[in-house]
Structure 1
Amino acid sequence: MSRRYDHARVKEYWQHVWEREGVYDCPADADDPTYVLGMFPYTSGSLHMGHIRNYAITDAYARYRRMAGDDVLHPMGWDAFGLPAENAAYERDTDPESWTRACIERMRGDLEEMGFGYDWSREITTCDPEYYRWNQWLFTRLHDAGLVEYDSATVNWCPDCETVLADAQVETEDGGGHDHTHGGVCWRCGTAVEQRELDQWFLTITDYADELYDGLEDLDGWPEGVRDSQRNWIGRQEGARVTFVVDGHDVDAFTTRLDTVYGATYLALAPGHEVVRELAEDDDRIAEYVESVASTDDAGLSGVETDLTAIHPYTGEEIPVYVAAYVLDDVGTGAVMGVPAHNERDHAFASEHDLPVEQVVEPVDGTGTNLPEEPYTDDGMLTDSGAYDGLASTAARDRLLEDDAAAEATTYRLRDWLISRQRYWGTPIPMVHCEDCGRVPVPDEDLPVELPEYVQTTGNPLDAAEEWKQTECPDCGEPATRETDTMDTFVDSSWYFLRYLSPHFEDAPFDQQTADEWLPVDVYVGGEEHAVLHLLYIRFFTRALADLGLLNRREPVERLINQGTVLHSGEKMSKSKGNAVAPHEYGAETTRLFVLSAAHPAQDFEWTVKDVSTAYEFQQTLYEMVDTYTAGQETRTESAPHDAYLEREIDRTIAAVTEEYDRFRFHRVVGELQRFARLLRRYASYEAPYRFAYSRGLRVLTKLVAPIAPYLAEELWHMLDEDGLVVEAPWPESLRDVADFRIERQLVRTTLDDVRDITDVVDIADPDEIEVVVAEDWKYRAYDVARAADPGDAIVGAIMSDASIQAHGDAAADYAAELAEQGAGLEPVVAGDRELEVLSQAAWLFEDEFGADVTVRRADGDDELAGKARPNKPAIHIS
């Protein structure tokens, strides 16, 4: 009886060997390495199944590319700053750094036990002063370049976390980011967000709005869902600014439908508009409304009419001015011309406040509308629009722009990135406040500005660190105070992939020459939830660094892979739901194999014990096969005809598995390996296997499984008495031309299915003979003519114009008509001789399954079966 594979017994040994040999170290002099990266983890205390799935994907691909001959960079580090560590430390009466360091040690051990192959010589930790020194250095460079602003602003405030949140860190009911209106909850703790007026630091990401938007078109290797999320978040809109006069002041309203301007029956202002702020100073009714909107999660269609009127720029008429919650403070201009007849939001607001609905666009085809009950929002022909009556919407928009009352304009949903955080555990913002000099950057020679010793306190701990806070102005030398806000931790992760390239570089955040050679990241794996946070920020940072002369690249990542969610009992697996499974509960290798085999990387999948058991048993199957072979299994040294099928199938499997690795379809890789393992076992039980073919099959199988199950593969490689390590072995290559491997496989599969169907229908339980008859050559020529024909071509005529086909008379005409009916649905086939060869090599499968004598031959024109045989659809006779 063969032994069982014991993962726990071998893992420490192979970990030691891999580390001793430095197999995962990427050479510093690699000209063009393959850069494979998983989003580095937040130091939360332990790995969860989402981590395992992410890192199993990158590890499998990195191992595959290393075996394929690439110099592979596959690093790991720690996203170590952040409020959760500060909260955890507070709860445990310790300090954030001690908690974070303990988490890192635990998580690094988890990663190593899982067998993930990282270049640990490049490990980075964002809470190390030698790392966040460069956060501060980059901040000062961005400040000098005019990409940093300090301004008073209405900001999102989480009262539980006691800090400001960027718009993208406020979650709304639809699951998206904050839309610059009131409402939403904190992305970390779920507390309802409030609005506060504070002086804050911003990175002016809006300077890159157009480039970030346009650049999405070229990101062919990114999921369309991520690109759409970024387009929506940037929210670029082309339209016009229309100027209304309100109380002697010009108020601009943005619209994408200038053709509807004559239908404006009111002007709506956002609660934060400067005109509204002035009104609120003297009008208690307005002030109370603005305050009520700021304190509610859903102000809906609420609004309040002011005592002001606006002069319509085209008609000269006066229309009422409202303060309306649905108008956003910082989207467009904060003012909306209300056109209830042609805009859904305006129509809903007008219905709520009994405002007039005036139609100024009608359908071109004369069909009716549902006005005034429902707005008509399509383009059409203008009516009741003065001199513009009768113009189509598109032409009217152009003509209306000729008037001084309107001008072309572009607006964005994107707002500048608010990076100030009123918390301790983050990068101190390297600025000094001086009464005489104002805000002054800390000089490079004084960086890093390190965090003081942690002291538990309410509010901002840095603001309470009086000794640390007091300093001298770098410009005038007079007493000054340090900035007490720390940076949003997304700053840390916006450039960390660059630090991996030269983690010990002392002169700059990274070595520019190395970065230019190695970027973009070839493959980046992480969750789609980061689409408008991290993934937008790294694109901004890369562009900003390029404009600072620090990079010659403007896009950071070539190919982005989003991994799906691991579910348990239909819900996302998590500790809070009590449905989490520890990554090592079923063994590291079984877990890796299962999470990669369960589904496409982008899809969610359900964790089930049954499927985990299947992954475990597959490992045991491979181990048993190799163990039996190396223990002295009987083999042959002379080849037999059926051995050619296995030799060919080895090459087909190499081609198929390689293609699936390249496409990140690891679930199909595992499926191919399982199928191949079953074939090897069946081949070995059919009769004593041919030593050359069978041993090659086992070695190829070992190599192909190595990226997914590295401990097992190393053990099998060692048992097969191969030199070196399988992790460093060259990727297997096909010995034969296998360009048609998918067609050949399908041919064998469908022919077997046809034989099964016939035996079932005719109820032949134990057939004596199976005859497989391959079509005549002229049918393949006819098939090729039909496939090459363009749609609408006279396929029958084209086929029958070939004299060698025409010579087959009525049979040829009937077959030509059959092909013409199928038209463009004809799939590629292998040539007749190749079909005969493939089926002859596979004859043993039929014999093994049905226990019958099998004959494979070409059709003869006089043969009754010749008329039934088609290319890649042989005729079958069973007796």
Structure 2
Amino acid sequence: MSDAGYDHATVERRWQAAWDEADVYRTPDDVEDPTYVLGMYPYPSGKLHMGHVRNYTITDAYARYRRMHGDDVLHPMGWDAFGLPAENAAKERDTNPRDWTFDCIETMTDQMEAMGFGYDWDREITTCTPDYYQWNQWLFSRFHEEGLVERRDADVNWCPHCETVLADEQVEGEAELCWRCDTPVEQRELEQWFLKITEYADELLEAIDDLEGWPNSVRQMQRNWIGRQYGTELDFEIEGHGPVEAFTTRVDTIYGATFFALAPDHPISEELAEEDEDVRRFVEEEADPDGDEPNGVETGLTATNPVTGEEIPVYVADFVLSDVGTGALMAVPGHDERDHAFAEKKGLDIVPVIAPEPEDGEEPEAPDVEEAAFTEDGVLINSGEYSGLDSETARERLTEGIDSAEEAKQYQLRDWGISRQRYWGTPIPVVHCDDCGPVMVPEDDLPVELPEFINTTGNPLDAAEEWKQTSCPECGADATRETDTMDTFVDSSWYFLRYVSPDLADAPFDREQANDWMPVDQYVGGIEHAVMHLLYSRFFTKVLADHEGLEHREPFENLLAQGMVQLEGEKMSKSKGNVVSPQRIVEEYGADTARLFIMQAAQPDTAFDWSEEGVQSTYAFLTRLKGMVEEFAAEAPEGDDDAIASYVDAEIDATIAIASAEYDDLTFNKALRETQDLVRTLRQYSDYTEPHAETYERGLSAVVRLLAPVAPHLTEELYDELGGDGLVAEAAWPTAQVDRDHVAKRRRLVENTREDIRDIVEVAGIEDPKAIDVVIAPEWKYDALEIAIESDADNLIGELMGHTHIREEGDAAADYGQDLQAEREALSMTLDPDDEHAALESAAWLIEREFEAPVRVVGSEEVDDATLKNAEPGRPAIEIDD
């Protein structure tokens, strides 16, 4: 085997065929130890990119790892196949979205198989097929039955380029651009279908605390999006219009309210617009909720402050939103930045009514609010009988004391508008009848299938006249079909349930099997889905738990948000021309090289830079490993089972213990680093002496199985070379004879000892050591260390001297006790004396190899007291003969 490489293409084809023949990745329906591993399914865009490769290598490696532990693993794949990009691509190419989508799926499937991803392809789902989307329609009808669907007029986000409605979550950045095409989003009023996710707002928020297997950053993003606020609702009387309800989180500032503001689409604003030209012009032409500065128009009306009785001017203002709170608010410029900016612009009063908390015994001092609002809690001033109260107490008393006031809460979360004016999506199963209104399509008539694609501007379903014309399910009269399709996030809100029973014909999922498999044990996907997809999936799961017998209220137990693959510090992007093709890497270096490099480069949740040098280095490593195994298989060594073999055996155990724990934590890069270190140790072992065959083979076997989840093809080849039984994909995971804590202590001991020898040699200027003695501390010091660690006595030395065998050591015990007292906070347990002696004796060859001098590991009984004084547990004394 030369260092130039190995025939990866032949190796990979051979073992992919072997897996298929053995049906390795097929998951039976009836299982005893289910583990569900899932990567967020991809949109079939045509080709895999490195983000896909990273995501799916993570899930594939973990699924393989759990399978080698004996778990029944469900690791499926499918396609998020509806969506506007396919429709646009079809229009550009004068084809239809279905053909475009399935061509892309075929290409990406071939690439996934070439990467060696171990999917149960029998469970593949494609969301654009009627046998999938009929269940979107069925679920829509069930949600409707339970009062969770509503049709109403609403201001919606409209992308003029895509010619469709966007959810709030699909509008990105301060510039409010379409997430698909970066076109500025407009506001339109349309009749829309909504799923009432707000009915579950409290549970969605409160259950976040229980998602302990999710990244804290994702959990916080969900909390922020739901955005629950507690406050007070109270009435301000507006002349000629009666009481108008306002919501505020800061009722403690009510004495500082100097104007009242209404949203442009508040009913009073709309009424005024019909009578007042200035109000009409503002509402229809000038109001800009997304503008840099708040703007508004005075109405000539006044509102009465319910606490002070003061009349304050009423404005229609574009910074007030009808779907936030009540669409009306009391404005307090002294204590709200937005109100302050508006008051400055309009020349309105700015009155401080909250002061910073004063020092004890001092009077609160009014803050200067002319330049900026004071927005923190504090002590009330200029607030009548409430002056002197702290903000929290004042909020409680004001809410109790104002007749119209009551505690309230509001959310940033809005009901989920799912209507999309596009073709390539699930038809909403509704017909519109002049007499009956909107009527659900009966279950027996589902699915409502898409008609043939018509390449037209706007919504192609509007142009499908024959398809649109139907009859009313209730009265039989002529009716028209709903031409809106569903937001594609509906597809992904429950797809993980379909995988458990993808061929089920009479329900969206098999309830019993879903209850066995769910929740997904490990879910992996991009941080960009932290709000939309994950929130909607949680909502669907809760509804299905309430109404369809699902036993689990959360879909994903553990979540990993993988980091980006970058090139020279920038996200890979076709538009930037900095994309690395996975296909090229596979052809040139093999799938295992791509997988291993991408997994060892960084922790899965961290971004990293693609490196061609790193890929080449990874390929060279695999080539060297193959050579080591082939050399061993050709002629087994005949070395002794000696101290060196004992050290290597211990390192094999150490690597297995650490790598296993890292695989459990999905920190694959650390597991792989440990495994590569073991390969290095085995090479050093074979270079230094004739290895013991059983030890060396055990090391190679461990390496092969530890690498198998990440580099599955070559490890099958090497497992076969080593005489393994069956396939490594189905082999048992290696086991260690020690735990990780023991490993850490032993490694720390050996490395500290080697470092101490280096320091002595350097400081003393010893160029050619003749011999090195490593002296183990006496047993009483180990006892003293254990007592010091476990003791909470103030006088540690006194406690140590209470033990006869320690007290008998006299000054040596007193001196060591003082050392322990000084380092008390940093003390940690070490190996016991016998284990320490054995560990150092087995590692002596490394010291001999480094310093080219014989090494003795010496017990405490073999040296004088002066030497023993320097020997401590975990830090033996060093004697060097120069």
Please say which of residues 669-678 and 855-864 is displaced more in the overlay. 855-864
User: Is the 8 Å Cα contact of residues 300 and 325 (structure 1) preserved in structure 2?
Assistant: no
The corresponding residue for 1:764 is 766
The corresponding residue for 2:391 is 393
- Looking at structure 2, the residues matched to 152 and 852 of structure 1 have their Cα atoms a distance apart, in angstroms, of 87
User: Is the 8 Å Cα contact of residues 163 and 423 (structure 1) preserved in structure 2?
Assistant: yes
Residues 291-310 of structure 1: matches in 2 within 5 Å? Answer: 291-292=284-285, 297-310=290-303
Cα deviation 1:546-604 (Å, max 9, x = unaligned): 12134121111100000001110110012111000011322221111111101111111
Change (3 A) 1:289 1:763: farther
Structure 1 residue 299: deviation in Å? 4.2
Q: Structure 1: which amino acid aligns with 2:235?
A: T
Unaligned runs of 5+ in 2: none
Structure 1 residue 739: deviation in Å? 4.5
Change (3 A) 1:761 1:306: farther
Cα deviation 1:432-489 (Å, max 9, x = unaligned): 0000111100011111000000010000000110000000000111100000000000
Residues 128-147 of structure 1: matches in 2 within 5 Å? Answer: 128-147=129-148
Please say which of residues 213-222 and 264-273 is displaced more in the overlay. 264-273
1:258 and 2:251 aligned? yes
TM-score (norm 1): 0.96
Structure 1 residue 124: deviation in Å? 0.3
The corresponding residue for 2:613 is 610
User: Is the 8 Å Cα contact of residues 154 and 190 (structure 2) preserved in structure 1?
Assistant: yes
The corresponding residue for 1:646 is 648
Change (3 A) 1:32 1:442: farther
1:753 and 2:755 aligned? yes
SS in 1 for 2:582: coil
Change (3 A) 1:529 1:294: farther
Please say which of residues 159-168 and 281-290 is displaced more in the overlay. 281-290
Q: Structure 1: which amino acid aligns with 2:133?
A: Y
- Looking at structure 2, the residues matched to 852 and 817 of structure 1 have their Cα atoms a distance apart, in angstroms, of 35
- Looking at structure 2, the residues matched to 27 and 386 of structure 1 have their Cα atoms a distance apart, in angstroms, of 74
The corresponding residue for 2:717 is 715
1:624 and 2:627 aligned? yes
Unaligned runs of 5+ in 1: 174-182
Structure 1 residue 74: deviation in Å? 0.2
One of 292, 317, 320 as aligned partner of 2:313: 320
- Looking at structure 2, the residues matched to 338 and 796 of structure 1 have their Cα atoms a distance apart, in angstroms, of 68
- Looking at structure 1, the residues matched to 388 and 680 of structure 2 have their Cα atoms a distance apart, in angstroms, of 74
The corresponding residue for 2:555 is 556
- Looking at structure 2, the residues matched to 607 and 293 of structure 1 have their Cα atoms a distance apart, in angstroms, of 49
Structure 1 residue 621: deviation in Å? 1.9
One of 330, 341, 363 as aligned partner of 2:323: 330
- Looking at structure 1, the residues matched to 339 and 398 of structure 2 have their Cα atoms a distance apart, in angstroms, of 21
TM-score (norm 2): 0.96
Please say which of residues 816-825 and 422-431 is displaced more in the overlay. 816-825
Output the aligned Cα RMSD: 1.6
Structure 1 residue 835: deviation in Å? 1.1
Residues 240-639 of structure 1: matches in 2 within 5 Å? Answer: 240-247=232-239, 248-292=241-285, 297-365=290-358, 366=362, 368=365, 369-402=367-400, 403-587=402-586, 588-636=591-639, 638-639=640-641
User: Is the 8 Å Cα contact of residues 351 and 369 (structure 2) preserved in structure 1?
Assistant: no
Please say which of residues 201-210 and 799-808 is displaced more in the overlay. 799-808
SS in 2 for 1:576: helix
One of 862, 872, 879 as aligned partner of 1:870: 872
Cα deviation 1:305-358 (Å, max 9, x = unaligned): 221111101111111122223223311122221112222332233233222122
User: Is the 8 Å Cα contact of residues 75 and 123 (structure 1) preserved in structure 2?
Assistant: yes
Change (3 A) 1:293 1:661: farther
- Looking at structure 1, the residues matched to 799 and 316 of structure 2 have their Cα atoms a distance apart, in angstroms, of 74
SS in 2 for 1:75: coil
User: Is the 8 Å Cα contact of residues 170 and 186 (structure 1) preserved in structure 2?
Assistant: yes
- Looking at structure 2, the residues matched to 824 and 354 of structure 1 have their Cα atoms a distance apart, in angstroms, of 63
Q: Structure 1: which amino acid aligns with 2:441?
A: V
The corresponding residue for 1:179 is none
Please say which of residues 276-285 and 370-379 is displaced more in the overlay. 370-379
- Looking at structure 2, the residues matched to 867 and 453 of structure 1 have their Cα atoms a distance apart, in angstroms, of 90
SS in 2 for 1:5: coil
- Looking at structure 1, the residues matched to 191 and 406 of structure 2 have their Cα atoms a distance apart, in angstroms, of 33
Cα deviation 1:680-701 (Å, max 9, x = unaligned): 0111111111011111111111
SS in 1 for 2:271: helix
User: Is the 8 Å Cα contact of residues 776 and 877 (structure 2) preserved in structure 1?
Assistant: yes
Change (3 A) 1:220 1:358: same
- Looking at structure 2, the residues matched to 371 and 794 of structure 1 have their Cα atoms a distance apart, in angstroms, of 58
Q: Structure 2: which amino acid aligns with 1:716?
A: L
Cα deviation 1:666-725 (Å, max 9, x = unaligned): 110110011000000111111111011111111111111000100010010111122200
The corresponding residue for 1:742 is 744
SS in 1 for 2:388: coil
Structure 1 residue 761: deviation in Å? 3.0
- Looking at structure 2, the residues matched to 59 and 204 of structure 1 have their Cα atoms a distance apart, in angstroms, of 36
SS in 2 for 1:267: strand
Q: Structure 2: which amino acid aligns with 1:67?
A: M
- Looking at structure 2, the residues matched to 501 and 648 of structure 1 have their Cα atoms a distance apart, in angstroms, of 43
- Looking at structure 2, the residues matched to 154 and 317 of structure 1 have their Cα atoms a distance apart, in angstroms, of 34
Q: Structure 2: which amino acid aligns with 1:256?
A: T
Q: Identity over the aligned pairs, expressed in percent?
A: 56
The corresponding residue for 2:14 is 13
Q: Structure 1: which amino acid aligns with 2:707?
A: V
The corresponding residue for 1:664 is 666
Please say which of residues 529-538 and 4-13 is displaced more in the overlay. 4-13
The corresponding residue for 2:822 is 821
Change (3 A) 1:301 1:800: farther
User: Is the 8 Å Cα contact of residues 126 and 132 (structure 1) preserved in structure 2?
Assistant: yes
- Looking at structure 1, the residues matched to 685 and 871 of structure 2 have their Cα atoms a distance apart, in angstroms, of 29
Q: Structure 2: which amino acid aligns with 1:298?
A: G
- Looking at structure 2, the residues matched to 835 and 763 of structure 1 have their Cα atoms a distance apart, in angstroms, of 28
- Looking at structure 2, the residues matched to 71 and 10 of structure 1 have their Cα atoms a distance apart, in angstroms, of 27
- Looking at structure 2, the residues matched to 674 and 639 of structure 1 have their Cα atoms a distance apart, in angstroms, of 23
User: Is the 8 Å Cα contact of residues 796 and 821 (structure 2) preserved in structure 1?
Assistant: yes
Please say which of residues 705-714 and 240-249 is displaced more in the overlay. 240-249
- Looking at structure 1, the residues matched to 45 and 858 of structure 2 have their Cα atoms a distance apart, in angstroms, of 66
- Looking at structure 2, the residues matched to 737 and 170 of structure 1 have their Cα atoms a distance apart, in angstroms, of 50
The corresponding residue for 2:178 is 186
User: Is the 8 Å Cα contact of residues 287 and 295 (structure 2) preserved in structure 1?
Assistant: no
User: Is the 8 Å Cα contact of residues 314 and 405 (structure 1) preserved in structure 2?
Assistant: no
- Looking at structure 2, the residues matched to 742 and 254 of structure 1 have their Cα atoms a distance apart, in angstroms, of 58
SS in 1 for 2:413: coil
User: Is the 8 Å Cα contact of residues 263 and 322 (structure 2) preserved in structure 1?
Assistant: yes
Structure 1 residue 296: deviation in Å? 7.4
Structure 1 residue 297: deviation in Å? 4.4
Please say which of residues 369-378 and 134-143 is displaced more in the overlay. 369-378
Q: Structure 1: which amino acid aligns with 2:349?
A: P
- Looking at structure 1, the residues matched to 735 and 440 of structure 2 have their Cα atoms a distance apart, in angstroms, of 58
User: Is the 8 Å Cα contact of residues 651 and 738 (structure 1) preserved in structure 2?
Assistant: no
Q: Structure 1: which amino acid aligns with 2:193?
A: W
- Looking at structure 2, the residues matched to 292 and 878 of structure 1 have their Cα atoms a distance apart, in angstroms, of 90
- Looking at structure 2, the residues matched to 113 and 703 of structure 1 have their Cα atoms a distance apart, in angstroms, of 21
Please say which of residues 561-570 and 812-821 is displaced more in the overlay. 812-821
SS in 2 for 1:771: strand
Structure 1 residue 644: deviation in Å? 0.8
Change (3 A) 1:492 1:383: same
Cα deviation 1:197-229 (Å, max 9, x = unaligned): 000000000000000000001000011111111
User: Is the 8 Å Cα contact of residues 39 and 523 (structure 2) preserved in structure 1?
Assistant: yes
- Looking at structure 2, the residues matched to 310 and 353 of structure 1 have their Cα atoms a distance apart, in angstroms, of 17
Structure 1 residue 400: deviation in Å? 1.0
- Looking at structure 2, the residues matched to 117 and 142 of structure 1 have their Cα atoms a distance apart, in angstroms, of 35
SS in 2 for 1:405: coil
Change (3 A) 1:326 1:630: same
Structure 1 residue 268: deviation in Å? 1.9
Q: Structure 2: which amino acid aligns with 1:794?
A: N
